[in-house]
Structure 1
Amino acid sequence: MSDREITQVAGNFTYTEGPRWHDDHLYFVDFYTYSVNRVENDGSVTTVATVPNQPSGLGWLPDGRMLVVSMKDRKVLRQEADGSLVEHADISAHCNGHANDMVVAENGQAYVGEFGFDLMGGADHEFGNVVLVNVDGSSQVAASGLSFPNGMSISPDGTTLYVNELFGNRVSQFPIHDDGTLGERSDFASFGDLGDEPSVEKRLGASSIAPDGQTLDAEGAVWVADCVNQRALRLGSGGTILDEVSTAPLGIFAVGLGGSDGRTLFMSVAPDFDEAKRSAAREASVLSTTVDVPHAGRP
């Protein structure tokens, strides 16, 4: 485990997610204040958008307009030049649970994960989809049968999509075809097949990792937020653990690489992911530390 200095970048939030480095600034969302936020050069935080149905994944179109997932109504919103939010895509027909994290490709196509079931309501585990959203707002299921598809990244050459399966004990990868559709799933890192077990608690108990948010580095490694083990992990192909940053006693739910040289690892942390507890408290923050290998790919 690496012993690194950890700094708080932003604090006093409910449940931070989706840290993204864009135009020399850190952006992130806060679930239960419904806000999309930007950290300014002086360290202050500006709310740049409010998403009443709870924001999640962030990305940007080629023309610079921001996309943000609206979780509970299962939409992707687009921020126009005047700051207003408009509907970019309604993906509800492809979702069996809340829409969740997102990565936007260089050409503006977006990949959105969805829960697959009512996690916060205590429902049994069911497999979920990755939804492809085209630039014109049309959408289709790009991949199915994933165990809570969550954090995603795209390789620098645009040919591979990496997907964290939060309750699947693995990170999956897919070839990206020229039209944005996905090929056959394979393992980037697998720590054991959990099968069709319906209990979320048992799936987590049998997991070596619970990968939430994700980011890529320039050596082809994947950083994941291992949310139940209170650590950020740098994984090599096949599942070799190359580096580890502990966030104990806090859980970690998202990671992002950025900063002026791409070597700042941003980490979204909170005591847990319980909706009732997090929405009633201000115990979440974004932390940062310095790593050796810089960011690559998208986001």
Structure 2
Amino acid sequence: MRYIVFSLSFVIVVLHLSCTKEITSKDFTIPNTFTSGIEGPATDFRGNIYAVNYQKEGTIGKITPDGRLSLFLELPDGSIGNGIRFGEQDKMYVADYTNHNILMVDMDTREISVFAHHPDANQPNDIAISPSGIIYASDPNWKNGTGNIWKITRSKGFEKLESNMGTTNGIEVSPDGGKLYVNESVQRKIWVYDIQNDGTVLNKKLLYSFDDFGLDGMRCDSKGNLYVCRYDKGTVVILSPKGKLLKEIKLKGSKPTNITFSNDFGTFYVTMADKGCIEIVENKL
């Protein structure tokens, strides 16, 4: 009888420890300093993190590596940002979904200009940049459950790569510039394409499909593994370039919208819509 009691106690202790270890993130910023529209995020060359909708819609907040938070800028003319990426060292690109723009921000002067505009785009929503400087944008129509993918350059503006997809959302380019990853939030699928020399895409294949919850922003680490935000599930899933599920990381909040890495890839930062803040995770993969 003693043995049985000890065994049950041991099981309870083990289960308790496993549950307490399940959440591996912690708050990087104070909750509710951003709106529920917190998105972005992106890391500059000095390690600062940027995310949209700090304190109110239409802004971008800046967080230093040690967690100091401040207003970086306000977007003009009713623009509201979503995805953020950095191209050249002094240029930030912002998906302005209300005015159907890709905005470019000079990081030295904070001057904002329209890099490209398309009046018939649904948004755009999230963006990725190839090593050659080509911007790719997801473009969901949430009401209809459809979406597009755009290729965007200074010379040609928005060029549609594919239409009539599911609700396109997270988008990423592999570190070597050879693959484009796009997910469909409602349909819970992640697609992979081969990027051609001219920036167009071919050979669409299903990389991974989920049975529940939603999908949001994605980023690749330096090895090409794909980190996917599982909206409403409160996790980040890590997939290999071949589509093998390597790990799933539990977050404190339930609605992760997007993710960015520190410059050494030792940590990653996740924007949380339900908490209005950014969570930080030590990257142990």
Partner of residue 126, structure 2: 101
Match of residue 156, structure 1, among 170, 175, 178: 175
TM-score, with structure 2 as normaliser = 0.82
Task: Give the superposition deviation at 1:238.
Answer: 5.9
Distance 2:253 2:186 in 1: 21
Bigger mean CA deviation after superposition, 5-14 or 237-246: 237-246
For residue 248 of structure 2, give the secondary structure of its aligned residue in structure 1: strand
Q: Residue deviations 1:115-141, cap 9 Å, x none?
A: 12xx3xxx342x211111113352210
1:40 paired with 2:43, answer no
Partner of residue 116, structure 2: 89
Residues 26, 39 of structure 1: 8 Å contact kept: yes
Residues 164, 170 of structure 1: 8 Å contact kept: yes
Residues 231, 254 of structure 2: 8 Å contact kept: no
Q: Residue deviations 1:37-87, cap 9 Å, x none?
A: 221244222322222321011122336211111111111111134212111
Distance 2:86 2:65 in 1: 20
Partner of residue 113, structure 1: 138
Partner of residue 229, structure 1: 233
Q: Give the counterpart letter for 2:233 in structure 1.
A: N
Task: Give the superposition deviation at 1:160.
Answer: 0.6
Q: Give the counterpart letter for 1:77 in structure 2.
A: L
Name which structure has the greater RCO, CA cutoff 8 Å, separation 6+.
Answer: 1
How much identity, in percent, do the aligned residues show? 19
Partner of residue 216, structure 2: 212
Q: After TM superposition, what 4+ stretches of structure 1 lie above 4 angstroms from structure 2? A: none
Bigger mean CA deviation after superposition, 48-57 or 67-76: 48-57
1:17 paired with 2:21, answer no
TM-score, with structure 1 as normaliser = 0.79
Bigger mean CA deviation after superposition, 244-253 or 261-270: 244-253
Gaps of 5+ in 2: 1-17
Task: Give the superposition deviation at 1:220.
Answer: 3.1
Q: Give the counterpart letter for 2:159 in structure 1.
A: Q
Task: Give the superposition deviation at 1:142.
Answer: 1.5
Match of residue 266, structure 1, among 253, 266, 269: 269
Partner of residue 73, structure 1: 99
Q: Cα RMSD between the aligned structures?
A: 2.2
Structure number with larger C-alpha Rg: 2
Residues 217, 258 of structure 2: 8 Å contact kept: yes
Residues 170, 209 of structure 1: 8 Å contact kept: no
Count of residue correspondences: 258
1:175 paired with 2:194, answer yes
Gaps of 5+ in 1: 192-206, 272-282, 294-299
Partner of residue 287, structure 1: 279
For residue 216 of structure 2, give the secondary structure of its aligned residue in structure 1: strand
1:146 paired with 2:165, answer yes
For residue 164 of structure 2, give the secondary structure of its aligned residue in structure 1: strand
Task: Give the superposition deviation at 1:4.
Answer: 5.3
